[in-house]
Amino acid sequence: MRHARRSLRRLMRFAAAGGVVCGSLMVTHAVANEPPGAAPGQVTYAAGPVGGGPAPAVTEVVRRLGDARTAGSWAGADGRPVVAVTDAGAAAEARRAGATVKRVRHSMDTLRAATESLGAEPRVPGTAWAVDYAANQVVVRADTTVSADDWSRLSGVAERTGGVVRMERTTGAFTTRVNAAAPIFASGGRCSAGFNVTDGRDVYVLTAGHCGPAGTAWFQNSDGSRLLGTTVTADFPGSDFALVRYERGAPLGGADVVAIGGGRGVRITGAADPVVGQRVFRSGSTTGLRDGRVTALNATVNYPEGTVTGLTETTVCAERGDSGGPLFAQGLALGLTSGGNGDCARGGVTYFQPAVKTMRALGVRPVALPGSQEGGTGEQGGGSPAAPSSNPPASPPAGTPVTTAPSPEAPAVPGAQGAPPGGPAGAAGSGPGTVSGIADGFGPLGGVAPGLAVIAVSVVLFLISRWLRNSQGRRDYRDLYSQTWA
């Protein structure tokens, strides 16, 4: 029995020592991975992908191999880049660059030719297509409004490609997400504000182009008594973006923050292109914060109003009124909500206008407030697969700055809104109270809190083992000397 107790004490001491070492490593790793700060007011405009995207060496080898020998790249379940290649030589080069390799039959040239064949056909509203990199096919989706004759004609196109195109029927209908409760109002509908941007002179709100043409007046309330601004540029169909200029100049506090509900917001520090397989987040005035995965790039959607190309396809859900709302990850603007099918109860596919492409076309960049600390391009971990888009509102993305709600005297910012109207969030502002990452529940300790917790538990185990040892020593002393007691 005494040997068993001694073994237990020894095991607890080993566990405590191991816990201290592990906890110290966790703290060191968390501190080492904090994104570097930048000068106040600096904004990163990322030209390349972010968030689980290929390493520079992988990107370079894909570029060198070309579209004739590759067929896309994406983030795998383990977060590592995956490159689709068509021959053994290309596979060897991609492996040397650090990528996981998948041998496929069709090159990107072949896949692109198939999408061009689909685009050359007469337009069919209610259809959409995009390249599925993992399946090495072009997937054509047809909603419930597509007739049997149109379905048959498109199926014939698919058969002529020799298995490159796959046809799928979907539930619901592909529609733009306008006409519901939203924080910006116009006579033609209601939408969500996206990102606040600037051209160096004026400050604007980015939103969806289908929400209203150039000249549309936008209001902060439904009765039209508080003018927000006027659309100065809109592109729809073809693309799906609009630029709304503030009526009274630059907004005040919180212009660089996307509200995500619960009095919190995510500070936007730049813009980037999304990556297939990346976990992303969307905030909208109807459904709040939702998350999902990027499933395809450069998608084409045939809405009833017209065709939009170059969209990002995702599993994030959206509903009417979420149009124009922001898509983001790790504090970087990725896109604007365009449309899709389904809803947040059943799930569905949602398409987004890419942010980088839009900002370049308009000559604008994400707004940065003087005195605010802006970070780098950010980094999206691989993590576990995101929940289906029909899940309840998601937690904020790991690693993104989260701010508390603004003080009562700070005016609300119409741009970058996301919380449902009448909800607790209103508009989020910037300022004190910023914490780092999803670990905001730990307070200012942020990402180092898990490591500190491991160290604390280890210390407790060590103290318990010492107490057991001292207690056993007292019992041994008593047993030894009790024999001499009268």
Catalytic choice (132, 143, 192, 210): 210
For β-strands 44-49 and 270-273, DSSP reports them as: parallel
CA distances from 152 to 102, 162, 169, 408 (A): 32, 16, 12, 59
DSSP state of 447: G
Other C-beta atoms closer than 10 Å to the C-beta of 183 total 30
Contacts of 470 (CB under 8 A, 6+ apart): none
DSSP state of 89: H
Catalytic choice (132, 143, 150, 240): 240
Other C-beta atoms closer than 10 Å to the C-beta of 388 total 15
291 is catalytic: no
3 is catalytic: no
| 485, two tokens | 């007691």
Q: What dihedral angle (degrees, nearest 10) is formed by the CA atoms of 242, 244, 250, 252?
A: -90
Adjacent-strand bridge partners of 207: 242
State the Cα–Cα distance between residues 444 and 305, nearest whole angstrom.
49
Please state whether 143 falls in left (phi above 0), alpha (psi between -120 and 50) or beta.
Answer: beta
| 376, two tokens | 């780098």
CB 351 within 8 A of CB 280: no
CB 461 within 8 A of CB 15: yes
Q: Name the strand (E) or helix (H) holding 141.
A: strand 137-142
State the Cα–Cα distance between residues 165 and 477, nearest whole angstrom.
83
CA distances from 69 to 72, 111, 112, 165, 431 (A): 10, 12, 13, 19, 50
Residue type, 258: V
Catalytic choice (73, 192, 239, 323): 323
482 is catalytic: no
Angle at CA of residue 314, ends 161 and 437, nearest 5°: 150
* Residues carrying an active site annotation: 210, 240, 323
